[in-house]
Amino acid sequence: MRSVLIFMILFAVTGIGEVNAQDMQHQHDHKQETLKAGNIQSDYSLYHLDSEFITHRGEGVKLSEFSGEPVIVVMFYGNCTQVCPILIQDSWRLYSSLSETAKTTVNVLAVSFDTENDSPEVLAEYAKDEQLDISGWHFVTGKDADIRMLAMMLGVKYQKDSSGNFAHSNLISVLDAEGNVVKRVEGLNQPMDEAASVIETISQRSEQMN
Amino acid sequence: MITGVLLILVSSFINPANSQTPKVFIPAGSFHSVLPEVKGEPIQVNPFFMDETAVTNEQYVKFLRSNPDWRRSEIPPIFTYDGYLRNWDSDLEPNYDSVGKDRPVTRVSWYAASAYCSAQGGRLPTLNEWEYSAQLLGIDDIAEMNRFSSKLISWYSGIDVNNLPEVGSTGIETTAGVKDQFGLIMEWVADFKPIIADEISLDCGTVGRMQTLNSIYSYAASIRYITRMSFNPKITTGMLGFRCAYDEPDHSDENKNEVTL
């Protein structure tokens, strides 16, 4: 009985696997996309996410407002005392390794997935405590569904446990001027030189455009 | 539980002529997961609200009318593969003769499902919320539960995507009043790939690594968990639809009441 069941389960899984493979092929022959004038140029830009987020300065913001310049995105939560400070520290390490020019063009988005506790006020407090309430740094929250959507686009997984803590991926992403993910740094305490040089290149390009 | 029933009554009272799906109150509780990360410990779930039935083709058209960015001709490829609503005649015409007004909408990516729920002031249920709700079947008899679970297993291995039943028609209803979590379609959840999915490779040993919890139901659940873990957020298949969850009952309705009172 047991082996029959296992066989059936495997059959079910294999079936899905084939569906996946078919769908994977479809991504290469997608239809010509109709874009509105002045709209997002890239099919795979994060800026297609049209939701409004809110910063620790209490300002409503759409991701597309950051277009034209490089962006560092990191997802975290304020009550996290173990891993997140390292993750924010890593983001700071990346930011502070940049040239002065790149520092002025780059934006850092630290997005909280604790939509219940991390209000703009709490995030403002957090930014102050971390001494990161500085120009170009934005601690961001938003509606649960929108945060989840952004996380999925970045490839960040998170899951709340019953004690209110989150298990989550540790990931820093770099977006180019069009909002495409061009570099991902996974894990804690990773070397940042590659990500930094990617940002420098984007930064130089956007300087030339201006 | 009594509060739950009252809330359902209140919300259907507020929306007498509303085509929207009633929101069902799911009381707090706990359940045992088949994922190997949580041995022994039951998973606690906070109270929440969930759609009584899955989102229908008709409801999805309504969403597309006011959200043109998510129409088939407009949706950017970062949000879906090419199969998105492939069986529809055009952007706003599902061809109800073949797909049915009140049948669940399928061939929608995770992103589209999530955007729909966001537009309703909700979100997709989390994996734990969905699973917890699903097992509130009120079947106490072990033999009966085993019969039910065996049926479930054979259903998972052969969902007929071209002949989906209408929502609310399966006769399977939880004690909280949520319908068709089984027997209709597979459903998207917010975190369909839990963190542990990175560590569980989908191979011959995967089922063996799931917890058996001494029941046939746990085999059925394992199929569901493993199937979900094989998804990615852009896939669209004929057997995959969704319903929304909410942290609170409808605020807009409460406000309306305050204005009229």
Residue-wise DSSP of B8-20: HHHHHHH-TT--S
Distance between CA atoms of B113 and B108, rounded to whole angstroms? 6
Please determine, for residue B39, whether its predicted confidence score (pLDDT) is greater than 70: no
Distance between CA atoms of B242 and B159, rounded to whole angstroms? 15
Q: Which of A8, A13, A169 lies nearest to residue B202, judging by beta carbons? A: A13
Please determine, for residue A5, whether its predicted confidence score (pLDDT) is greater than 90: no
Domain region containing B216: 2-260
Q: Which residue has the higher pLDDT, B158 or A90?
A: A90
Domain at A46-209, CATH homologous superfamily: Glutaredoxin (3.40.30.10)
Question: Comparing A179-188, A200-209, B75-84, B174-183, which segment has the lowest mean pLDDT?
Answer: A200-209
Contact B123 A153 (CB under 8 A): no
Query: Whose CA is closest to B51, among B6, B106, B93, B104?
Result: B104
Which residue, among A26, A43, A143, A170, would best test binding to B if mutated, counting the most B CBs under 10 Å from its CB?
Answer: A26
pLDDT of residue B19: 59
Where do the domains of chain A lie?
Answer: 46-209
Which residue, among A2, A5, A33, would best test binding to B if mutated, counting the most B CBs under 10 Å from its CB?
Answer: A5
Answer for the pair B118, A51: CB distance below 8 angstroms, yes or no. yes
Strand pairing partners for B51? B23
Complex ipTM: 0.81
- Report the percent of chain A where pLDDT is more than 70: 80
> For B111-128, what is each residue's pLDDT tens digit?
999 999 999 999 999 999
**Reported confidence tier of residue B33, pLDDT bands at 50, 70, 90:** confident
> In this structure, are strands B240-241 and B43-45 parallel, antiparallel, or unpaired?
unpaired
pLDDT of residue A207: 81
User: Which chain B residues contact residue A45 at CB under 8 A?
Assistant: 76, 78
**Reported confidence tier of residue A11, pLDDT bands at 50, 70, 90:** very low
Answer for the pair A85, A115: CB distance below 8 angstroms, yes or no. no
pLDDT of residue B215: 78
> For A125-184, what is each residue's pLDDT tens digit?
999 999 999 999 999 999 999 999 999 999 999 988 877 889 899 999 999 999 999 999
Please determine, for residue B26, whether its predicted confidence score (pLDDT) is greater than 50: yes
| Maximum alpha-carbon separation in chain A | 69
What amino acid occupies position B230?
S
pLDDT of residue A90: 96
Distance between CA atoms of A142 and A62, rounded to whole angstroms? 10
pLDDT of residue B212: 64
User: Which chain B residues contact residue A30 at CB under 8 A?
Assistant: 77, 81-82
pLDDT of residue B202: 59
Q: Where are any strands of DSSP class E within chain B?
A: 23-26, 29-31, 43-45, 48-51, 186-187, 240-241, 245-246
Please determine, for residue A44, whether its predicted confidence score (pLDDT) is greater than 80: yes
Looking at chain B, how many residues does it have? 261
Rg (CA), chain A: 20
Please determine, for residue B30, whether its predicted confidence score (pLDDT) is greater than 70: yes
How many helices and strands in chain A, by DSSP H and E?
6, 9
**Predicted model pTM:** 0.83
Cα torsion B9, B14, B20, B25 to 10°: value is -40
pLDDT of residue A39: 57
Query: Which structure tokens are listed for A128?
Result: 């102050």
Tally the domains of chain B. Answer: 1
pLDDT of residue A81: 80
Q: Which residue has the tokens 């997608």?
A: A30
Residue B145: give its domain's CATH number: 3.90.1580
> For B169-225, what is each residue's pLDDT tens digit?
999 999 999 999 999 999 999 999 888 776 666 565 666 666 666 678 888 898 899
Other Cβ atoms within 10 Å of B191 Cβ, number = 22
Answer for the pair B172, B183: CB distance below 8 angstroms, yes or no. yes
